[in-house]
């Protein structure tokens, strides 16, 4: 992660806050203001109550995510799927290299950040859990909000559709704890791999090694039987207790509202280690750093599925919120758009609340352009499809996210000439500086 921080600093994409900030609300408030005026990362050098600096908004830019995987701005999905499908050309793990020096610390020595007004207390929001499937030993990476209780206890929300929840359930049926390590401040390849949904039996560390193009340096934990990335800034070792649930929340989640208090899993902390000059990574949920990676990786998942079953798929976007999916196609036959919609609806059972398909000339990252296409390229009543009573997002006891809306915003087949978009010759080449020079006195 620190290599990414240095690259952003060298490129002028890192702001540094040297004034001391309060981890209760102030740090999150400043981060939010930074995001409102641009997409630069921000480093807080002095955070009250801790010796560790805090960095945020590392991944708050779609363009930055594209650079991290060597993709053009409009080809994240295609580049990601190419990486996903390529064979691994090297070993996954490098356990021979020397590891950076680490030292023990208490959980309470870390920045204890409270983000939103009604949050019950401090949370670790960039927490990536590394655990192994109890029977096969296959490792899994996944994000889960983690509520700080004390030096020995975290309370963790495990979504029912996540692999880690299945791991924990398997261990719990045997009345056994599930060992896991909480990683804070990891290399970008591990961060991105943790956000992508692979099949249950797949190894997300292998995906991270593919993205990195080399084996991942690993080291052995001190209190549990697990190997962890050697260059992680902070590692919290522990175990999920079987058949134990305690109150967790409320917490302001990524959809923009508070998730109320509920009985959730208990993680017993056994050891905490940090690099001697560790930097803590903070994510304010629901802001660009939370949403841009989730949107890009969800879009890649949809693209991987839809492009396998429908021809002519050019790109996918899930902006401005991952509950919407927009598919761009090059029309090849009548009804092509509707087939793409069917494939998109079936590609992700959690997030595809609204699916829209558009033609190749539409900017799928601009919802104004997407809705313009729907409103101008055919009758509204014949191109909207409501699918009722279909389960949606798992965190939904009141069924607020059930049902699906599908919109075919493509132009009618065979009538493309009628819908050619108007253009002003030369507008893209205009240099405004030549026209708006300062007036002479």
Backbone angles phi and psi of 402, in degrees to 5: -75, 160
- What's the farthest any 2 CA atoms get from each other in the chain? 85
Of how many residues is the chain composed?
441
Q: pLDDT digits over 195-247, tens only? A: 998 999 999 999 999 999 999 999 999 999 999 999 999 999 999 999 999 99
266 touches 218 (CB < 8 A): no
Burial (CB count <10 Å: 0-12, 13-18, 19+), residue 388:
exposed
Residue 151 tokens read as: 């030096």
What is the predicted pLDDT for the residue at 205? 96
Task: Kindly compute the dihedral angle of the four CA atoms of residues 426, 427, 429, 433, in this order, to the nearest 10 degrees.
Answer: 130
Which residue, among 268, 226, 275, 224, has the nearest Cα to 244 in the 3D structure? Answer: 268
Is residue 441 scored above 50 in pLDDT? no
Q: pLDDT digits over 260-300, tens only? A: 999 999 999 999 999 999 999 999 999 999 999 999 999 99
Which residues does residue 267 pair with via DSSP β-bridges, in sequence order? Answer: 154, 240
286 touches 35 (CB < 8 A): no
Q: Which fold has domain 289-412?
A: UbiD C-terminal domain-like (3.40.1670)
**Distance spanning both ends of the chain, measured CA to CA:** 52
| Banded model confidence at residue 118, pLDDT cuts 50, 70, 90 | very high
Backbone angles phi and psi of 100, in degrees to 5: -60, 150
Is residue 332 scored above 90 in pLDDT? yes
Backbone angles phi and psi of 33, in degrees to 5: -65, -40
Residue 125 tokens read as: 């929001």
Cα separation of 407 and 388, whole Å? Answer: 15
Domain residue ranges in the chain: 90-277, 289-412
CA-to-CA separations, 275 to 110, 200, 279, 313, 380, in angstroms, rounded: 12, 32, 8, 45, 58
Which residue, among 28, 35, 24, 39, has the nearest Cα to 284 in the 3D structure? Answer: 28
Architecture of domain 90-277: Roll (2.30)
Q: What integer is the mean pLDDT of 181-198?
A: 96
Burial (CB count <10 Å: 0-12, 13-18, 19+), residue 407:
buried
């Amino acid at each position: 992660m620190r290599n990414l921080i240095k690259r952003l600093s060298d490129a002028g994409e890192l702001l540094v806050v040297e004034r001391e900030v309060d981890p209760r609300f102030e740090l999150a408030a400043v981060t939010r203001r930074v995001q409102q005026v641009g997409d630069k990362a921000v480093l807080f050098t002095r955070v009250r109550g801790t010796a560790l600096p805090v960095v945020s908004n590392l991944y708050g830019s779609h363009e930055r995510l594209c650079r991290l995987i060597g993709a053009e701005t409009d080809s994240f999905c295609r580049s990601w799927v190419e990486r996903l499908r390529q064979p691994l050309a090297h070993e996954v793990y490098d356990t021979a290299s020397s590891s950076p020096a680490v030292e023990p610390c208490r959980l309470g020595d870390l920045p204890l950040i409270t983000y939103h007004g009604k949050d019950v207390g401090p949370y670790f929001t960039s927490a990536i859990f590394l655990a192994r499937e109890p029977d096969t030993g296959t490792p899994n990476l996944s994000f889960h909000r983690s509520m700080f209780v004390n030096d020995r206890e975290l309370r963790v929300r495990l979504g029912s559709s996540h692999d880690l929840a299945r791991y924990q359930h398997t261990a719990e049926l045997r009345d056994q704890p599930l060992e896991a390590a909480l990683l804070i401040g990891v290399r970008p390849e591990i961060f991105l791999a943790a956000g992508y949904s692979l099949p249950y039996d797949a190894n997300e560390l292998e995906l991270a090694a593919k993205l990195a193009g080399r084996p991942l340096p690993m080291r052995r934990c001190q209190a549990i039987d697990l190997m962890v990335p050697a260059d992680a800034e902070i590692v919290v070792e522990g175990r999920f207790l079987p058949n134990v649930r305690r109150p967790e929340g409320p917490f302001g989640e990524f959809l923009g509202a508070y998730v109320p208090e509920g009985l959730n899993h208990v993680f017993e902390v056994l050891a905490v280690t940090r690099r001697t000059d560790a930097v803590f990574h903070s994510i304010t949920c629901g802001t660009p750093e939370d949403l841009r990676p989730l949107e890009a990786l969800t879009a890649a998942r949809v693209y991987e599925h839809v492009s396998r079953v429908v021809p002519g798929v050019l790109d996918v976007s899930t902006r401005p919120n991952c509950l919407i999916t927009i598919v761009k196609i090059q029309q090849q036959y009548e009804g092509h758009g509707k087939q793409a919609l069917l494939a998109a609806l079936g590609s992700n059972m959690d997030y595809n609340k609204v699916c829209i398909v558009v033609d190749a000339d539409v900017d799928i990252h601009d919802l104004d352009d997407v809705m313009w296409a729907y409103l101008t390229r055919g009758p509204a009543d014949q191109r909207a499809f409501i699918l009722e009573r279909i389960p949606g997002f798992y965190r939904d006891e009141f069924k607020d996210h059930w049902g699906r809306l599908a919109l075919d915003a493509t132009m009618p087949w065979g009538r493309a000439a009628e819908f050619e978009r108007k253009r002003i010759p030369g507008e893209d080449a205009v240099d405004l500086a030549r026209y708006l020079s300062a007036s002479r006195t």
